[in-house]
Structure 1
Amino acid sequence: MDSSLIEDRELACYISWLGPTELQRYQRFVRPERQRQFLLGRILLRQSLSQLLDVPVSALQLTECPGNAPQLDFPVCPDLGFSLSHSGNWVACALSASTRLGLDIELLNPDRDFSALALHAFDAAENAWLQQQDAGNRMHDFYRLWTSREAHIKLNAKLNAELNVENAECLHFPHPELSITLCSAEQLTSSPQLLHIDLLSAE
């Protein structure tokens, strides 16, 4: 979802969608940008869950879990997995009915010093791989490594256990403005698709 197309006044009515713990977290954000990203993420998550589970948005109860993704109180779908990510104006959500997921998106910024950033962000093997790649594609390779790492961290947190890279299936999606990586605990039975979702009415 590209939130640059959505005005703040359009979002105010969606605050009522938030559960008690979500509202507490929303109100703790100091920066309006973070409040906006949080609210948009929960709107997108609820709309996506509503479509996947074929239930009204009002039937979906989410509880905040400090340091982790929210918990969905929907016991009839115990294997359901979801993950949220945001970067700049972009907010994304991944859903699966059968496996845990980790999603990360990052806004592409060609003005950064990727060699210097890589020395601080990546280990020796990752830096060696990055240096072997075509310098003209350094930005995309850097962000691919970054989003892969972040997606794995989110997936590991959901599983509450260590998960080696070899044990997860990771997919990278082409996008003109973003680097997108999705990791799943189990092999996906069908290829995920990037979808644009418009806001539903909050009424």
Structure 2
Amino acid sequence: MSVDPHPITVWHGSIRALASHAKEVVDGAEWAYASSLKYPRHRATVLASRAGFRRVVAQYVAVSPQHLQVTRVCGTCQRPHGPPKLPHAGYPALWTSVSHSGDCLLIAVSTLGPIGVDVEVVRARRTIAATAARCFTPSELAAWEEEPLKDRERTFYQYWTGKEAAFKLYGLVSHPRDIEVTLSRCGAAYARAPDGHDCWPLLSLAVGSVNVAHLCVPKQKHYEALLQTKFTAGAAGTTMSPLPIPVC
């Protein structure tokens, strides 16, 4: 089944549910790679992300998930764990980004240009202050330290997912401090490029009380197109569902 794609859509799904039915859609190479991993949790995550990607993207190119042509060759080690690419010349132009944490899988799809998405489970970390000092810019660190103590844990992940989403969009950075994130109270934010000239809109995504997530898009017009899109939330299961986007 094909879909009439919105310019940008973020899909969400359950790692556990998708992994339990992954064999229905993944190919032999994907199954073999997942089976080679030592820990069951890692195997489930790999299978879920492969299956979820196939179920989502197949709708855009009007093929069955099983027949979607995907390559994942790592440019460094040549193992099949790189970002997914669509090699088929007949497929429409699509840009994708994938992220997972805990039981949450997010897949962002754009017909406008590159995007980045990141999700993290908010969890207590004894090293959170040291990580912030090491990875945040002076402006980020000052703003984070002004937060009430009860809010700092969640705010840390808001900065972190913003940086990760921007890194996935931009790619050419060597340290988390190379990207500076500015947050806003209403959910909209932005990330600044290492050269200080480019500024990318960030959108905070509603993915449950235990998760924090951001979507990064390259241009303000893409952000405006995203905010004009209306989604209907669906229950996560063996399929991927469009994620509702909050509007400031």
Q: What is the TM-score with the length of structure 2 in the denominator?
A: 0.66
Shift of 1:75: 2.8
Q: Secondary structure at the match of 1:146?
A: helix
Judging changes above 3 Å, is the alpha-carbon distance between structure 1 residues 196 and 49 closer, same or farther for their aligned structure 2 residues? farther
**Unaligned stretches of 5+ residues in structure 2:** 1-12, 76-81, 173-178, 180-191, 240-248
Q: What does the per-residue CA deviation read over 1:56-82, in whole Å, with 9 as the maximum and x for residues that have no partner?
A: 213311111316412112334553111
Q: Residue 63 of structure 1 aligns with which residue?
A: 71
Q: What does the per-residue CA deviation read over 1:91-123, in whole Å, with 9 as the maximum and x for residues that have no partner?
A: 221111222111110001146553233123323
Q: Which moved more, 1:101-110 or 1:187-196?
A: 187-196
Computed over aligned residues only, the root mean square deviation of the Cα atoms, in angstroms, reads 2.9
Identity fraction in percent: 23
If each structure's helix is expressed as a fraction of its own residues, which one has the higher value?
1
Q: Secondary structure at the match of 2:226?
A: coil
Q: What does the per-residue CA deviation read over 1:136-175, in whole Å, with 9 as the maximum and x for residues that have no partner?
A: 32122100111011111211239xxx98174322111133
Q: Residue 26 of structure 1 aligns with which residue?
A: 34
| Partner AA of 2:159 in structure 1 | L
Q: Residue 198 of structure 1 aligns with which residue?
A: 237
Q: Which moved more, 1:82-91 or 1:190-199?
A: 190-199
Q: Secondary structure at the match of 1:82?
A: strand
> Counterparts of 1:34-45 in structure 2 under 5 Å?
34-45=42-53
Please say if residues 27 and 66 of structure 2, whose CA atoms lie closer than 8 Å, have aligned partners that are also in contact. no
Shift of 1:126: 1.8
Among 3, 27, 34, the alignment partner of 2:15 is 3
Please say if residues 114 and 138 of structure 1, whose CA atoms lie closer than 8 Å, have aligned partners that are also in contact. no
> Counterparts of 1:34-183 in structure 2 under 5 Å?
34-66=42-74, 68-77=82-91, 79-110=93-124, 112=126, 114-157=128-171, 164=193, 166-174=198-206, 175-183=208-216
**Unaligned stretches of 5+ residues in structure 1:** none
How many correspondences in the alignment? Answer: 193
Q: What is the TM-score with the length of structure 1 in the denominator?
A: 0.79
